[in-house]
């Protein structure tokens, strides 16, 4: 699967899901202000900004080159993973000055780092003990093999829901995907389905953890104390179900018109 195929599915799903989530959150949590003041001065400040230079310009150039390389891996002979490592290497070279550790160290919320590390450790233990593989095998035998005959859309809906549920015994997305991809991919091949279409929701759903703040992004905002876990759970259920529908329908459409190979 190429980065272009990933983007064909992922970008529309992300945009639609983001808009729907924003509308729903505005409906549930009424905005506390009617007018955002200071936008005029912000626009003036933006006009007065100097052109990109120094580390900003270097980062923009490196990242732009990485994006282009992600889209044409076969033509340049460098896969996406090597491109990413090359980008990190270049950004870390002496003289690039892209990260000031002394400045960033004072801004890091170490409690968020610790809870993310604990979640990763838990996922590693589950994976090493074989519990994750055992659970994914049971789920595949109980659900996936039975609903596969109902059509690709139904199968994608079930896979997405399973991934949402699977986040909680294994909150680390990479480990969860590593356990589920072999099972789902093998099932797709056995049923004669496009493995890319079936495996894409597994990868994309690893980032949809919207019921409890054990994801790094969610926990970073939670540590600010502005919202409570019950707020996230009450709205996260609806947003998650909306994402499941959007992702499943769009993936089925893209696969149906042959854009995934």
| 158 inside domain | yes
pLDDT for res 66: 92
CA 188/CA 176 separation, integer angstroms: 18
Cβ-proximal residues to 83 (8 Å cutoff; 6+ apart), any chain: 66, 69, 70, 73
Q: Are 174 and 216 in contact (CB under 8 A)?
A: no
* Burial readout 100-125 (b: 16 or more C-beta within 10 A, e: otherwise): eeeeeeeeeeeebeebbeebbebbee
pLDDT for res 32: 76
pLDDT for res 33: 75
The one-digit pLDDT tens for each residue of the chain (261 residues) are 678 878 888 899 999 999 999 999 889 888 777 776 766 777 777 778 888 778 888 889 999 999 999 888 888 888 888 998 898 888 888 777 776 666 666 666 666 567 666 666 666 666 667 665 666 666 666 666 667 667 788 888 888 888 877 776 666 666 677 777 777 777 777 777 788 888 888 888 877 777 776 666 676 777 677 778 788 888 888 998 999 999 999 998 988 888 776
| 236 inside domain | yes
pTM of the model: 0.69
| 42 inside domain | no
| 213 inside domain | yes
For residue 74, count other CB atoms closer than 10 A to its CB: 8
| 16 inside domain | no
| 132 inside domain | yes
Domain that holds residue 115: 109-261
| 172 inside domain | yes
Which residue bears the tokens 């955002």? 36
Kindly give the residue spans of alpha helices, DSSP state H, lying in the chain.
3-28, 39-47, 54-71, 73-76, 80-91, 101-105, 110-129, 131-139, 145-147, 152-166, 173-191, 195-205, 216-222, 229-256
| 171 inside domain | yes
Structural domains in the chain (count): 1
Cβ-proximal residues to 97 (8 Å cutoff; 6+ apart), any chain: 54, 55, 58
Q: Are 214 and 122 in contact (CB under 8 A)?
A: no
pLDDT in tens, 244-255: 999 999 998 988
pLDDT for res 15: 94
């Amino acid at each position: 699967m190429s980065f272009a195929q990933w983007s064909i599915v992922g970008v529309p799903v992300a945009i639609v899901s983001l808009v729907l989530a924003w509308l729903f959150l505005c409906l549930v949590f009424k905005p506390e202000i009617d007018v955002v003041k200071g936008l005029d001065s912000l626009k003036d400040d933006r006009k007065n900004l100097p052109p990109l230079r120094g580390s900003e310009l270097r980062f923009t150039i490196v990242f732009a080159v990485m994006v282009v390389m992600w889209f044409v891996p076969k033509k340049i002979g460098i896969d996406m993973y090597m491109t990413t490592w090359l980008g990190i290497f270049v950004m870390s070279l002496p003289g690039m000055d892209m990260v000031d550790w002394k400045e960033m160290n004072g801004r890091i919320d170490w409690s968020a780092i610790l809870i993310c590390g604990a979640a990763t450790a838990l996922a590693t233990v589950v994976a090493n003990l074989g519990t994750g593989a055992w659970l994914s095998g049971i789920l595949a035998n109980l659900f996936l093999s039975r609903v596969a005959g109902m059509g690709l859309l139904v199968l994608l809906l079930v896979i997405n829901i399973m991934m949402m549920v699977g986040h909680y015994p294994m909150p680390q997305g990479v480990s969860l995907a590593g356990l589920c991809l072999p099972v789902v991919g093998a099932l797709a091949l056995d049923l004669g389905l496009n493995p890319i279409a079936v495996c894409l929701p597994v990868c994309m759903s690893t980032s949809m953890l919207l019921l409890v703040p054990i994801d790094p992004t969610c926990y970073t905002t939670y540590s600010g104390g502005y919202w409570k876990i019950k707020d996230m759970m009450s709205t996260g259920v609806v947003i998650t179900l909306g994402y499941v529908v959007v992702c499943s329908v769009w993936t089925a459409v893209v696969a149906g018109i042959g854009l995934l190979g």
